[in-house]
């Protein structure tokens, strides 16, 4: 796989540029929307939820922003990955290129947007008076494995979408439901310990919790959380890669 990416490096770079810029094509502000969109969402959520949850949650705006950008990264990456084969069918149906290149490029472009959002998060951290420590380097861990998880989900969703177009509507409902169980705007501390453990079933919540532990609590997340995040990412990627390997030759039949 690595050798093929090197072989098609030029195509991969062009796909990343295309995916990143096409999103803002014909817009006045262009890439600035990468920063404005999460900021506007944060503003609305902070306005609505601060009076309900913010009074009992320290550094609530940063708390809210951590959840918002991590969940947004997952939703944007997997939703875009779901339609990536259909959107690029005109290319791979005429040129023999690895189909996973399109999914990889899409994930890199969403990762770039996520990187911009993290920089904005750090500005809020600075304004809120939270200390920057060496622990911030550990944030690379959830970013890496959430990216791998997104790729695995993209493999599965894009393969299924070619056969079942209704999937995009079902997945939209699923992500909306997932948002409410990811503790983006509320804290799980008030729940019994048994209920809190149930939240760990959600891999997005696990990554959000990792961010908040580092940034707000200034602590190193538990070994259990590291293992859970790693396991979810590897399992999702493994299943997704298997789906692509077994279904790859059938993709042309459904476009």
Domain chopping of the chain, boundaries: 2-254
Inform me whether the pLDDT recorded for 26 exceeds 60: no
Inform me whether the pLDDT recorded for 170 exceeds 70: yes
Q: For residue 62, what are the CA distances in angstroms to 35, 129, 137, 149, 217?
A: 15, 11, 18, 24, 11
CA distance 162 to 85: 8
Q: Tens digit of pLDDT for each residue in 85-107?
A: 787 767 766 666 767 777 888 88
Residue with tokens 């149906």: 93
pLDDT of residue 178: 95
Residue 20's pLDDT band, with cuts at 50, 70 and 90, is low
* Strand, coil or helix: 97: coil
Structure tokens given for 208: 């959000």
Share of the chain above pLDDT 90, in %: 45
- Cβ–Cβ < 8 Å for 228, 206: yes
- Looking at residue 57, the DSSP 8-state letter turns out to be S
* Average pLDDT of the residues of the chain: 84
Q: Which of 104, 195, 194 has its CA nearest to residue 186?
A: 195
Q: Tens digit of pLDDT for each residue in 179-213?
A: 999 999 888 988 898 999 999 999 999 999 999 99
Q: Tens digit of pLDDT for each residue in 110-165?
A: 898 899 899 989 989 999 999 899 999 999 999 999 999 999 999 999 888 888 88
The end-to-end CA distance of the chain, in Å, is: 24
- Cβ–Cβ < 8 Å for 132, 220: no
CA dihedral of 169, 174, 176, 179, whole degrees rounded to 10 = -150
């Amino acid at each position: 796989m690595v050798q093929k990416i090197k072989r098609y490096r030029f195509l991969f770079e062009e796909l990343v540029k295309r995916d990143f810029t096409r999103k803002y094509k014909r817009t006045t502000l262009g890439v600035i929307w990468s920063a404005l969109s999460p900021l506007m969402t944060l503003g609305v959520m902070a306005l609505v939820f601060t009076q309900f949850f913010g009074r009992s949650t320290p550094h609530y705006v940063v708390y809210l922003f951590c959840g918002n950008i991590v969940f947004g990264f997952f939703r944007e990456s997997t939703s875009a990955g779901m339609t990536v084969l259909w959107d690029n069918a005109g290319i791979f149906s005429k040129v023999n290129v690895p189909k996973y290149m399109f999914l990889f490029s899409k994930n890199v472009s969403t990762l770039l947007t996520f990187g911009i959002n993290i920089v904005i998060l750090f500005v809020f951290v600075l304004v809120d008076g939270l200390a920057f420590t060496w622990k911030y380097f550990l944030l690379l861990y959830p970013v890496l494995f959430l990216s791998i998880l997104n790729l695995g989900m993209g493999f599965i969703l894009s393969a299924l979408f070619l056969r079942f177009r209704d999937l995009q509507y079902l997945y939209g409902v699923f992500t909306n439901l997932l948002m409410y169980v990811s503790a983006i705007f509320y804290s799980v501390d008030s729940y019994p310990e048994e209920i809190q453990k149930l939240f760990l079933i959600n891999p997005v919540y696990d990554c959000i919790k990792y961010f908040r532990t580092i940034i707000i609590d200034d602590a190193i997340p538990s070994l259990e959380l590291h293992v859970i995040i790693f396991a979810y990412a590897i399992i999702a990627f493994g299943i997704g890669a298997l789906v692509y390997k077994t279904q790859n030759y059938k993709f042309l039949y459904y476009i």
